[in-house]
Structure 1
Amino acid sequence: MRLDGFQLEVLVNGQPLEEYNLPINESNPTTDSSYVLDESTRQKTYSDDVTYIAVKPEMKYSIRFSSSRASMWSPLMAYVYVDGEYDYTYREISNSSPREKDCFWNNTLSKKYFFKFEISQLYEIDNPEIPLQRKPYGGLGAISVYFYKARVIPQTPVYIPNFSVNQVKVAEAKSTCGIKFTTAFEEAEGFSNRQAVATMERQGDEPVAVLHLHYRPATWLSIRGCNLPEIDQPNHLSPSVPGLLGDVKPYSFNIKGEEPQSPTVVKTKYKIIRAAVIHSDNVIEVTDESENRNNNEVIDLENYTPKNKRTYTKEVDVIELLDSDEEEEENPSKILRIE
């Protein structure tokens, strides 16, 4: 996403993921709006939309960010938050060249934890209707960068508190039903302990810019009208699906304990058709090609039982992100003490 000279992207295999914008009132963001501060007027320019990317489980990624406002005479410090968490490090920005981050570090700078999307880990709460409690920085299902004005200081050792790097847990509530994925971490070893130092300090507590990039499943975005290349049909069967109009008729089931809608119940006959659908939890496949039925045969769905039952499994592509330590060694992360 881009906003007044600031940019934030998510890369997979070195390529930025396609972004989709939704109006705030048609979305369900877990963060406040992205904004850029005008330092002369102290007015904030807010984004009118919420920016999303479509992701899959097991997808490794990195985060790229930049600012055209940064220079040697006016440097910035950037803090990266993933699902509302960070690793107490910042990245220096002293020109318009983009910076990249693909992991969190532990407190001794001896281990890396590479970013990858995974299925959310849920936990139960007493009242699922409770609204989502937002985090102080960033939010669930979001990648955020906070930019601060900075000044160069002599190299100063700092203390990093002991903390754990784990996938956040998501409350199983109505407000979080769309957050199917969060970020997990793949541990890598082989790094020696390094002294945590700071070479910059913030000039003020208010960011000059905050960018949020939310991530959701492709079907979640498709349902909300986003035109995703790999999604050309909704993940459910209905008469409104292109190509099915006139072939499939609505069917009303008589649920036990309820009175029928009319005194006369007429069983509707259906024809088995072949149509491309998206496999999901909402789709049930009722026929098997091994049954060798005639495509023109008309059957009664109410009394129909498939001869063969199968369990369908869904396979997903696993994309391995090839990492290079060269950039991290040239530009080591700097650490600041938390006030």
Structure 2
Amino acid sequence: MATEPVRPAPAQPASFIQEVLRGVAQVDFMPNAITGILFLAALAAAGWQYALYGLLGAAVGTATAYAFAIDRDTVSAGLRGFNGTLVSLSFAVFLGWKHLSTLLLAIGGSITVVVVTSALATILDTWNIPTFTAPFCVIASVMTTAAPGFSRVWHQGPGLPALPPPVAETTTLDWNQLWHAFFANVGQIFFMPQWYVGLIFLAGIFAASRVAGLMACVGSLTAIFVAWAMGSPSEGVAQGLLGYSSVLVAMALCGVFLVRSRWSFAFAVLGAAAATGLTTAMTWFFAQFGGHTFTWPFVLTTLVFVAAVPQIPRLRRT
């Protein structure tokens, strides 16, 4: 006799709120509701509308996962909310948050990204590799490339600042640009270049994990050094445009996806340096057709480095 599939119990309001907050925090790998609150506070410091869009994306993504009866533990950890947060927030930043079309697209994108996440997870699970923020990157890249072709969507709203033109001489970073870049590298993960916003994000990471907080600092410093050594334009460095993927890579490769050790620390620094170079390359590539880099450098760098681990005996997956 056929039996009905077992469906997970519906979430209670309190647990749903926790899961939504974890979804916001999982942008930086932290399944911690307190961190999620601090991240929303950081977004609110840049503009209350950004906090609302970030929260909306996580809530819609989490609710969609429940509607699809996706694995309860996955949803509870916030792993179906963080891509929604980034999708919704990117729509607000690039299309202008005050337009109804942006709100509707943010909701639709946050639903669709759950489907994209499930599709990529099916493929990548074969090699035991996470999807990272690839689902967000897919949705956001399609949106920014297509939006100018739709008059009711494209409002010429402010977007991320572009990298300045190449310069012939080595970058000269003054002290003010240096410390701004250190915090902006963290803030730009959420598209926010303000140093004080990055500071609050960094505090949120430390609230969940001191190791993750330290690795975020290491990733930021590595990106600044590599960008300076290679002669990147100082303004782009100061705005955090070259370092945000490096911050994510450093955290991912030492303590999140790889067991913490001196070897994984060195591996993380190498990955952060590689991501800095890749960020510049991909920025110029996407600029040719109006696209944006988003976290593609983080996704591609971490994908390669994590995939390499089985062949490197000194490293172990978590």
Short-chain TM bin: under 0.3
TM-score by length of structure 1 reads 0.20
Q: Which has the higher helix share?
A: 2
Larger of the two Rg values belongs to structure: 1
TM-score by length of structure 2 reads 0.21
Structure with higher RCO (Cα < 8 A, 6+ apart): 1
Q: Which has the higher strand share?
A: 1
